[in-house]
Structure 1
Amino acid sequence: MQELLGLPPQASAHAADVDQLIVLVHWLMAILFVGWGAFFLYTLVRFRQSRNPKADHAGVKSHTSSYLEIAVAVIEAVLLIGIAIPAWATRVGDPPTDRPPTLVRVVAKQFEWHIHYPGADGMFGRTTNDLISPTNAIGLDRSDPLAVDDLYTINQLNLPVDTPVLVHLSTQDVIHSFGISSMRVKQDAIPGQEIPVWFEPT
């Protein structure tokens, strides 16, 4: 099914769970399509003109269709509460605490992704808007002792495998969509916000 849907290779610890949810949703959509398609064909045959040459202004007297609509709404609510919400909570929850994550800052700016690594000390150097320039897009203060070993790249994100990664995502201008399809990561960068995104490359 994954090959049929054209899903990219899995490259993160949670990718298999995301793919399973995608496959489940497609199976449910297929069931709904077949069910409602059969109901549609039934109504075309059952209420065709040759069988009902004169319109009945009283309308449908049975409540079967209403019961079907209620049943579908209940099933969808169960799916939302029982599957979608727990799955979403698992994905957007706090990163694992048993292992320290690799920290990365990702700053979006006009078709560029500016990647800031904290270096060997694991701590980011100070950044300030006053220092932002064409050659220093993230405003890194190189005079800060914590910034001495910081690394900076453009449009190149290097991550260790089998280690949680915590990305601090932000943008300098408009909304940008940060996505790594093979790792099943997708998050919009919103102006004025720093959004944490975590995943574990494999």
Structure 2
Amino acid sequence: MLELLGLPEQASAHAAEIDRMIVLVHWLMAVLFVGWGTFFIYTLIRFRASRHPRADYGGVKSHFSTYVEVGVALVEAILLVGFAIPAWANRVDDIPNESDAVVVRVIAEQFAWNAHYPGADGVFGRTDIKLVAAENPIGLDRTDAAAKDDITTINQLNLPVNRPILIHLTSKDVIHSFSLNQMRVKQDAIPGVSFPVWFTPTKTGDWEINCSQLCGLGHYRMRGFYSIKTQQDYDAWLKEEVAALQATR
């Protein structure tokens, strides 16, 4: 079924759970399609004009259709209350502690993804909208002590494998949609609001960051990349970035 749906590879701890839900929803849609399609064909034949040349203004006397409608409503209510809401609650309540996770800020803009890492001290430096410029798209204040070791990248997100990832997602301008298909992650980025996005990568690799929300004329080129690295490679990348920062001082 997964092959028929054309889903991308699974590369996060919760990806299989998401895919199972997608498959289940498609089976339910198939059952509803066949059921209502059969009923529609039945009504076309049962109430065709040749059999009823004159309209019957009294209507159907049977309550069968009412029972069917009530039954469908009950099944949908059971699915919502007994399945969908508990599954959603389990997911949204599972935010990892920042002390146990790799924490990154992602700031969307037309038409790029900006990543902000807190550095070795684990504290994000101060940002100021007055400092936003082409060479400083998030307005990071390098005079702040906490910002001196902060790392920023554009359209490139580097993360370690097999560790919880917590991303604080927001936008500078319009609504964007942050999509990591292999991680089964998708979340709107809205100006003035920071949303937590979390997952645990289980495979190393390089994939694309997609914007799934039409965000302007340049939407087609809002394309970033994310790399899931081994812990050793991730640590080596951090050291390279810190060395590059020190060289510019």
Fold similarity call, TM over 0.5: yes
1:38-67 Cα shifts (integer Å, max 9, x gaps): 111211222222322222110011111111
Match of 2:229 in 1: none
Match of 1:106 in 2: 106
Instruction: Give 1:191 deviation, angstroms.
Output: 1.1
8 Å Cα contact 1:92-1:197 kept in structure 2:
no
Instruction: Output the CA distance in 1 between the equivalents of 2:9 and 2:145.
Output: 41
Instruction: Give 1:98 deviation, angstroms.
Output: 10
1:131-171 Cα shifts (integer Å, max 9, x gaps): 21121111111122222221110011111111111101111
Instruction: Output the CA distance in 2 between the equivalents of 1:137 and 1:122.
Output: 21
Match of 1:92 in 2: 92
Unaligned ranges ≥5, structure 2: 203-249
Match of 1:13 in 2: 13
Match of 1:160 in 2: 160
8 Å Cα contact 2:96-2:166 kept in structure 1:
no
- Quick check: 1:200 aligned with 2:197? no
Instruction: Give 1:31 deviation, angstroms.
Output: 0.5
Instruction: Output the CA distance in 2 between the equivalents of 1:91 and 1:162.
Output: 18
Give aligned pairs, total: 202
Match of 1:138 in 2: 138
Match of 1:182 in 2: 182
Match of 2:69 in 1: 69
Identity over aligned residues, as a percent? 65
Query: Does 1 or 2 have the higher relative contact order (CA < 8 Å, sep 6+)?
Result: 1
Amino acid paired to 1:91: R
Match of 1:38 in 2: 38
Secondary structure at the aligned position of 2:32 is classed as: helix
Instruction: Output the CA distance in 1 between the equivalents of 2:37 and 2:99.
Output: 50
- Quick check: 1:123 aligned with 2:108? no
Instruction: Give 1:180 deviation, angstroms.
Output: 0.5
Instruction: Output the CA distance in 2 between the equivalents of 1:139 and 1:98.
Output: 23
1:7-41 Cα shifts (integer Å, max 9, x gaps): 00011111100000000000000001111111112
8 Å Cα contact 2:101-2:166 kept in structure 1:
yes
Match of 2:232 in 1: none
Please list every run of at least 4 consecutive aligned residues from structure 1 whose deviation after the TM superposition is greater than 6 angstroms: none
Instruction: Output the CA distance in 2 between the equivalents of 1:133 and 1:152.
Output: 14
Instruction: Output the CA distance in 2 between the equivalents of 1:123 and 1:101.
Output: 13
**Considering only aligned residues, what root-mean-square deviation do their CA atoms show, in Å?**
1.5
Question: Normalized against structure 1, the TM-score is what?
Answer: 0.95
